[in-house]
Structure formats: structure tokens, C-alpha cells
Chains A and B, each alone.
Chain A
Amino acid sequence: MSAMGVGAIAIPKSFLLGREIDPLRAAYEAMDVAQKKQLADAALNAARAKGATYADVRIGRYLNQFVSTRENKVQGVANTESFGAGVRVLANGCWGFAASDNVTKENIAKVAERAVAVAKANAKIQGEPVQLAPQRGFGEVSWKAPIEKNAFEVPVKEKVDMLLAANAIAMGAGANFVNSAIFAVNEQKYFASTDGSYIDQDIHRIYPTFNVTKIDQANGKFDTRRSLSTPMGMGYEYLSPSADEKVTGVVTRYKKRYDMLEDMKAAALDVAQKIKAKSVEPGKYDLILDPSHLWLTIHESVGHPTELDRVLGYEANYAGTSFLTLDKWQTKNFNFGSKLVNIVADKTQPGSLGAVGWDDEGVKCKQWDLIKDGKLVNYQAIRDQVHIIGEKESHGCCYSQSWADVQFQRMANVSLQPGKEKRSVQDLIKGVSKGIYIIGDGSFSIDQQRYNFQFGGQTFYEIKNGEIVGMLRDVAYQANTQEFWNSLVDIADKDDYRLGGAFNDGKGQPPQSNAVSHGSATSRFNGVNVINTARKI
């Protein structure tokens, strides 16, 4: 059981301390591609020999690094490494999967045989046989995330120094506590299938974050302000500030370069203001939502209900189904939102968490429309589902969190397109007579069919007659997805477009996590129900 407190940042309990260089970097070098191909062929041949009509194998080395601090102390630095192979097969029309950390030619063949045995055993309780969309083989290809600086090659001391310098800024500005951390991920994935693809990919993700806590000693109230950074599909270059990548306003926000020291100073000032802010009066408000907040609302209310596996009922027992049922899509006229709502799914956007060359079943990645001019036009679907929506090719959004887990449909980056007309955030605020401007994501919850949601935030600014008049606290808004997206009346232009994202979006049984980004520009939603969350115990 884990005890996650208000100031804590989620990292494994036992990860501690750091180093200046990685003396064992050689051990992380990717395995030779020719060797991986031999291993993959051993698995594919064994699967075929046992009667599989299709097979794919993923050989992966997964590296993580966690560096975490609090106040003036380094709490942890740890490198984790996991290596193994998973084989998925179709036999007797049914899927089978097996995985092992013993990656030799002999054993990987046995793993493939075990996967076939599982498929055959389950075929008796299989309904319709799996219909796999055809996929051409790509031969031997590779893809590398376009990073400028590999986070695993940056000395840990550099990371520690930056985090402690940031913490000192918060403490110097009156914070009572501060936690900060950098998480880095490198997935070295090799995929091969009986379609004739041998795909070698090198994927990088990074997430710098902090949480500043302020306590009002007089009344015992405490409050926090989290960083306005976001996890990115980037290297360490994300942590090199650039004036071009900043968005100024009530607080500075960031595009593809993050300035942790600057944001830390702002956070310490914000939280001091927030703890003394006026408690919100519940009622209807026009909301101006910053991309650092709106990404999560998009994720929950658009990303998840447009996943076809949910629509079909594959997640009925856990993550839930979807209100965006096939009959609504079939009308080609289902009013999801206002005409300004244009939402795309994308597995290629540079710097995003979801960007890869090919997905985990060998499909080349692309971008496609989900909501066009407010109407539902498509879903997110993979090879064994696309026939249901009359398509011949998968959308390319199949993913597994590791070699040990079976791949399945996971969310692509799902993003709201910015406004086409020149509109600044200030233009949006100007038109609001009674509103709240929300920055940063906070508490979030949505029902299992994605109708009713409630979101908090990091900071809340009261708008009166087109002007920001001060900060509010205890704010959360509740809405119905369709009503909410129909209340979208204004969007800032592309200059304000930014990504937000989640490192660990959970789905499936056993649960798997997926990293995904969501882009948007600041948007205005009219007449949303705001509640006050203050209680006494």
C-alpha cells in the first residue's frame, strides 16, 4: 500500500541518490539489430510451425531514470532496466500471448509455442474469429525520436543541481515545502511480424515536475501549486529555456522549452496568493481554460470516448464504455460540440508523447480527424477493429507498456485545433463579464461512459467585466461532455497552441499505462457549473 501525501511526487519508494556520469552506459547500448532479427525470426518461425496464422514479436529494453528531491535534499536517483520479449499470435482465430525475460533463440521459440497453446486453449470460448486488417510489411526499417540531448547521457549532478537550485528559489520565496523531480524514459523496441516487418525504434520521454506547498500557520490551511511543465516526447533539451517558447500573461507558460527556475519562482508567489484567495461563490461562470488545464479535459472527455474498444464494450468491466455509440457515428451528423470544435488524433506530432514511426502491431503512424466542425466523424481503432467501422487499414494506435504485456488499442495524441482567426488570450478574456480563468490541471474524475465530469486546476483567476480582478480558491467545475463542448464559443489562434499530457494513462486488465499528449489553444466555454470544494472536518 502506498501513502501518497499532498506534497509527494509518485516515484518508487526505494529510489535514492545520484551520480555524475553513467559509468555503465555501455550496458544500455541497444542490442545489435541483426541479433534482434535472428531472435525475432526464431519466434515467428516457431509460431508458424505450431499453426499460427499471424504472429508478432516485440523485443524490448526499457530504461527509466528517476531523480527526486525535497527542499535542500536529494531524495533519490535510480536507474531501472527491464529486458525481455513478448510474442502475440493468432491461432484458430483467437489471440494468444506469452512473454519471458529469457531472450535466447531457444527460449523465444518456446515462448511463441506457449502463445499458440494459449490461443488454441481459448479458442473454445472465442466468439467471432479475429478479423485482422491486412498490413503490408515494411522490411527492415527504423525510427528514432528526434531528440537533441539524450536525458540518460546528461550527468545526474546536472539534474540534481538544477532541482536543488529550483527548490532554493521556492524556499527563498516563502514556500514551506517543495518536492521536485525529473523522470526520463527510453524505450528501445524491436518489432517483427509475419507480415514481413522488422522495425527498430528508439523512443524518449521526459517529465520535469515540482510541487510547492504553503501553510498558513495561523489557521492551519495548506495549499499547493504544481509546475506548469508537461511530460514531453523529447530529450533533455526540453529543460533548456527559450524566450521563443514562452507564453506570457498572468503567469508564464511554456511550449517546447521549459524554464523550471522561472516557474518555481512563479509557483511560490502563486501559492502564497492562492492560500489567501477568496473562496469561490458557486454558480454558472464562463470559463477561460488554458492549454495547461484543457489538455486533461480533452483527454478524458474526447480522447477516451472516441476509443473504439470502449465503444464496442471491451473495457466494460474496467475503464468503461462510451456514450459515442456506433449509431451516433453512423448518422454522420452527431452534434458532439459547437462548430469550432475540430479535434484530431495524431501519432506523428514532433515532441508529443505519442509520436512513433510505427505502432506496436507494425502499422505506420498518421493523423486523422475525430471531430470535424463539431460532428463525430471517426474513432481510434486498431487492426482487429477497423472492419467494424468499414475501414481497411488500422489507424496505427496499438501500444503495449512493456515486453511483458500484450499490446492493445491505446489513445493517440488527441488535440483541439486552434482558432483560424487571429485571437489572443486577452481577446478572449475581454468579452467575459463573469468568468474564471483556469491554469494548470488539478483533480479530475469522469463517469464510465464519459458524460459527467468534474475538474479542478492549479490557479483560478476571477474575471469581471472583461478584466482579471484577483485569484479564487476551492474551484471545481462539473459538466456533461456534449453540453460542455457545445458551450465552446471562442478559441485563441495557433500562437497560443501548446501541448499538455499524461505520462501514465491507465487502461486494461491487468492495467497498463500509456503516455499521450493533447494540444490546444486557450478556449472559452460559456455558462459552466462551478462548485465550491471547501469543507470542514
Chain B
Amino acid sequence: MPILTEQEAKALLTKVLSYSKADECEVNLNGSEGGNIRYARNAVSTSGATTRSTLVVSSAFGKKLGVATINEFDDASLEKVVRRSEDLARLAPENPEYMPFLGPQQYAPPSKEYVDATAAISPKERADAVEASLQIAKDSKQTAAGFLENSTNYAAMMNSHGLFAYNTSTSVAFNVTLRTTDGKGSGYASKGYNDVRQLDVKKATSIAAQKAGGSAEAKAIEPGKYTVILEPAAVSVLLENVLFAMDGRLADEGRSFLSKPGGQTKLGEKLMDEKVTIYSDPHNPLLPTASWNGDGRPQEKMVWIDKGVVKNLYYSRFWANKKGVKAVPGPDAMIMEGGTATLDELIKSTEKGILVTRLWYIRTVDPQTILLTGLTRDGTFYIENGKIQFPVKNFRFNESPVIMLNNIEAMGIPERCVSGESNNHYLLPPLKVRDFTFTSLSDAV
């Protein structure tokens, strides 16, 4: 099914609701249209164009709720999915945590998530962009592997209490790895935007090429505690784990890094350096996101960490009601305030340290402290006297972002980046951090 306009979505959802015989019914509709090209070994490997839509119907009788999904949209299928959700609900036990669906909500006007130029990307434009990227790889006698993907997305919801919400967005993401032909050097660059006009495939590829060339013949240095400069892509995969763990219920229940003995939490306490302010804002022009979330709650600007102090947690509607607090939903994106330094200036100000392009295979080792492990990848360099001196072999680290955010030496200018782990988009600065813990060496290039 193609992308539906607001009026078309409203008509479809009204039709779905007309089949409902439940006490309450809520319908979520999501769809996307897009394409991608994947390349490797300096040639295209796979590419695709896919249109997908999913309809989720939630029906409730009293506190009994049933949910069913479908991706077929003829009248018979629509009625079938409503009946299926009702059959589920009728036979379900009561859920004591059930919350009635929301009534009509006031949402801020849509942010600038949708960009015509991105929606209009053609297969030829994708192929041309990849061709240009491949040319840089060939010119620098390196081997490229990369991925370019764009999509146009829409989401709509409606319920039997009169709530209706609609949103459209566009997205383009590009990431590329260049490797020297002898396999001794590897470099990476990743960019993602709502507006394709901000994407410079050639520039990103050139950065990856430069890192690949520069990282060949890496030297092994001893693992241990080092001052590191983490580029935004590396910062993203660490910081997102802090945000993922800011659930109010887990903190209240005593099973999060924010829990204290005896059922108290660290909400309101200073846990990090005062340079640390982390927030979300659907209307940030550099990182626009939706003004409502999947259960119909408004998404508003929200400060999570304010000058190192834990300011807000997010809650399910049930838990917020039980605790008598505002039911703040989890954010769609994360922004961290930064400084004014460029990456080059951060390097220049460093007596001894390590520049990290990318971190990889991040996993939680201990949720009590958010101890994370993972490895550096695709461009790790030793800095001395304000200059990159030589490439170093990759390291495994074991570090908690909470500890790391207490050790900030300097911050650069925030820029938009994409997490290589979650694919979420963020606006984050490069960080210079002291005493970052590398625990072993890796032979990987």
C-alpha cells in the first residue's frame, strides 16, 4: 500500500473503527516506502525497493485487551483483524495494569521531519551516489563496502475516544567502510539526515578513505587507562545505553543504575560532571522527531540530565498513575549539549591520547553500573603533543558511560550521528574523556 495522506489515513482508520464492537478500540497504522543499495568489494551487491504497511488493532472489553496485526488492507482483511483482536480480548484474563485509551490530545505542530527532496530520491540517484563513492575508493586504490538507504514513512493512530494523530517523515542514511587492498587499514564514515541535501556521500567516503590509508600498519600499545577523543559515532553507542536505562519503573523497583537501597532512586541527584546536559526536543531543527508517541501521548522537549543532575525519567502510563507522576514517554532521539571546539581543536589540545572513530559490538556487562564492553574499529590513532602520531591496534574496552561522563575534559560541536548499534539518530558532540578503560588488544582491522 502506498504512503497515505492524512485524509486517506483518517478514512481508513475510521473504516477500521466502524467494524469494532469492543468497549474501546485503538488502531495504529505505519507504513514506509523506500529503497536501498548495498555495495561491497567495489561493486553493488544487493539492492531493493520495498513498500510496507502494518495495521495494529487493539480491542478492549473492560480491562481485557487483545491485539492483532495484519498487512493486508482489503475490507475482509480489515474486518478479520478487528474480529481477531476482539476474540483475543474476550478470552483474555483481566490485566490489572490496563489503562483506558487516551482521549483527544493537543499536539504541537509537526516538526520538519518530512522533506520533499528525500521523498523524491530515485533509484538512479541512489546508483549515481554509490558510483561516486566507488570512484573515490578506486582512485585511492582501496576497497569500499557501503550502504545507502532512504525511506518515506508515515504513522497514524485513531481510537474510539476520538484521538487522532498523523505524522510523516523522511530519512536517508549512508555509511561506508574503505579498506586498503592489503587489509591492513580500515576507515569508516556514517551520516544520516531527514534532508538528503545535507548528505555529502563523496565527503563521507573521502573521510573513510583517509582513515583507511592512515590506519594501516597500526602499532600495538599496552591496554590501560587512556585519555580518549571519541567521535560522535563512538559517543552515540555509549550514551544511548544511559538513556535506555532511564525507565522510572525499573529505578523504583530497585533494578537500575538509578536505584538506591530501600526503594529510593537517584532522581534529582548529581551523577555526572556538570558539563553534561542531555535532552530531547522534537522541534530541534537539526534533529526533528514526531510530536506524539505510539500510545498517543504528546512528545515534548524534556531534559533528562541537567548539568550532571538526573532530572527526569520516563514512565508507562500505568506506572506514572500509580506513582502520581507525569507519564513522560521515552524520547525518540537524544541531544547532548557540547562545546565550541572542532575535532581538530580537540586533538590539538591533547598532550597524550587516543582518537576513536567508531566503537563496535557494545553489550551491557553489568546493568547495575551500566558497565559496557565493546571494541574500537575502523580508525584508532595515537595522539601526542596535539598531533596524530600513528595508528594503533584496536582495543577492547570495559567502561561505564556513567563513569565516563564524570571524566569529561572537553566537548566539541554537536553533530548529527547515527548509532551503529541501534540505528537511532542523535545530535552529539565529540568528547574528550580521561581514564577510559581499555582492557585488551585486538588483532582485528
Q: Which of A422-461 contact B (CB under 8 A)?
A: 443-452, 454, 456
Chain A contacts of B183 at CB under 8 A?
321, 325
CA of A502 to CA of B92, assembled, Å: 30
User: A220 touching B177 by the CB < 8 A rule?
Assistant: no
Which stretch from A122-130, A193-201, A230-238 is at the chain B interface? A122-130
User: B244 touching A1 by the CB < 8 A rule?
Assistant: yes
User: Which one of A80, A221, A452, A456 has the greatest number of beta carbons of chain B within 10 Å?
Assistant: A452
CA of A316 to CA of B314, assembled, Å: 37
Closest to A114 in B: B49
Of all A-B residue pairs in the complex, the 10 with the closest CB atoms, nearest first, are: A127-B43, A19-B91, A17-B92, A220-B261, A452-B442, A316-B145, A447-B444, A449-B444, A317-B145, A509-B147
Chain B contacts of A124 at CB under 8 A?
127, 131
CA of A320 to CA of B66, assembled, Å: 41
CA of A180 to CA of B412, assembled, Å: 44
CB of A534 within 8 Å of the partner chain: yes
Chain A contacts of B175 at CB under 8 A?
317-318
- CB proximity of B267 to chain A, nearest CB, Å: 15
For the A-B complex with A1-B333, A312-B41, A533-B371 known, give 18 more contacts whose Cβ atoms are closer than 8 Å: A3-B243, A7-B250, A18-B92, A94-B44, A118-B123, A176-B254, A177-B253, A213-B255, A315-B145, A317-B188, A321-B183, A323-B444, A445-B396, A446-B361, A447-B396, A452-B442, A480-B443, A509-B36
User: A125 touching B261 by the CB < 8 A rule?
Assistant: no
User: B375 touching A447 by the CB < 8 A rule?
Assistant: yes
User: A6 touching B360 by the CB < 8 A rule?
Assistant: no
Chain B contacts of A222 at CB under 8 A?
254-255, 259, 367-368
CB of A96 within 8 Å of the partner chain: yes
User: B51 touching A100 by the CB < 8 A rule?
Assistant: yes
CB of A248 within 8 Å of the partner chain: no
Q: Which of B55-114 contact A (CB under 8 A)?
A: 56, 58, 64-72, 80, 83-84, 87-93, 95-98
| Given A126-B43, A220-B261, also A536-B369 (CB < 8 A) | yes
CB of B411 within 8 Å of the partner chain: no
Partner among A3, A17, A126 whose Cβ is within 8 Å of the Cβ of B314: A3
User: A17 touching B127 by the CB < 8 A rule?
Assistant: no
User: B442 touching A313 by the CB < 8 A rule?
Assistant: no
Chain B contacts of A321 at CB under 8 A?
179, 183
Closest to A99 in B: B50
Closest to A325 in B: B183
| Given A220-B259, A510-B36, A536-B369, also A451-B67 (CB < 8 A) | no
CB of B143 within 8 Å of the partner chain: yes
**When each residue 192-219 of chain A gets 1 if its CB lies under 8 Å from chain B and 0 otherwise, what string results?**
0000000000000000000001010111
User: A452 touching B44 by the CB < 8 A rule?
Assistant: no
Partner among B145, B360, B366, B375 whose Cβ is within 8 Å of the Cβ of A313: B145
- CB proximity of A525 to chain B, nearest CB, Å: 17
User: A5 touching B250 by the CB < 8 A rule?
Assistant: yes
Chain B contacts of A313 at CB under 8 A?
40-41, 143, 145, 179
- CB proximity of A226 to chain B, nearest CB, Å: 13
User: B362 touching A445 by the CB < 8 A rule?
Assistant: yes
CB of A314 within 8 Å of the partner chain: yes
| Given A1-B331, A220-B254, A478-B396, also A128-B56 (CB < 8 A) | no
Closest to B249 in A: A5
List 9 interface pairs A-B (beta carbons < 8 Å), by A numbering: A5-B245, A19-B88, A77-B92, A80-B68, A125-B44, A314-B45, A317-B147, A408-B46, A537-B402
Chain A contacts of B373 at CB under 8 A?
443, 445, 454, 476
Chain A contacts of B45 at CB under 8 A?
95, 314
Chain B contributes a number of interface residues (CB within 8 A of A) equal to 121
CB of B42 within 8 Å of the partner chain: yes
**When each residue 332-368 of chain B gets 1 if its CB lies under 8 Å from chain A and 0 otherwise, what string results?**
1110000000000000000000000000111111111
**When each residue 63-99 of chain A gets 1 if its CB lies under 8 Å from chain B and 0 otherwise, what string results?**
0000000000111111111111000000000111111
CB of B210 within 8 Å of the partner chain: no
CB of A496 within 8 Å of the partner chain: no
Closest to A4 in B: B244
User: A537 touching B95 by the CB < 8 A rule?
Assistant: no
Q: Which of B228-254 contact A (CB under 8 A)?
A: 240, 243-247, 249-250, 253-254
User: A404 touching B52 by the CB < 8 A rule?
Assistant: yes
Closest to B143 in A: A313
Chain A contacts of B123 at CB under 8 A?
117-118, 121
CB of A469 within 8 Å of the partner chain: no
| Given A5-B255, A128-B43, A454-B373, also A121-B1 (CB < 8 A) | no
User: A76 touching B330 by the CB < 8 A rule?
Assistant: no
CB of A344 within 8 Å of the partner chain: no
User: B49 touching A74 by the CB < 8 A rule?
Assistant: no
| Chain A residues touching B, range | 35 or more
CB of B195 within 8 Å of the partner chain: no
Partner among A17, A220, A314 whose Cβ is within 8 Å of the Cβ of B41: A314
CA of A312 to CA of B179, assembled, Å: 12
- CB proximity of B146 to chain A, nearest CB, Å: 5
- CB proximity of A103 to chain B, nearest CB, Å: 9
CA of A451 to CA of B445, assembled, Å: 10
Closest to B190 in A: A317
Chain A contacts of B402 at CB under 8 A?
537
CB of A324 within 8 Å of the partner chain: no
CB of A34 within 8 Å of the partner chain: no
| Given A1-B331, A101-B72, A478-B439, also A17-B422 (CB < 8 A) | no
- CB proximity of A132 to chain B, nearest CB, Å: 14
Chain B contacts of A266 at CB under 8 A?
none
Partner among A78, A99, A128, A318 whose Cβ is within 8 Å of the Cβ of B147: A318
User: A77 touching B250 by the CB < 8 A rule?
Assistant: no
CA of A215 to CA of B42, assembled, Å: 53
Chain B contacts of A215 at CB under 8 A?
254-255
Partner among B64, B147, B294, B439 whose Cβ is within 8 Å of the Cβ of A531: B439
**When each residue 1-24 of chain A gets 1 if its CB lies under 8 Å from chain B and 0 otherwise, what string results?**
111111100000111111111011
User: B127 touching A125 by the CB < 8 A rule?
Assistant: yes
CB of B167 within 8 Å of the partner chain: no
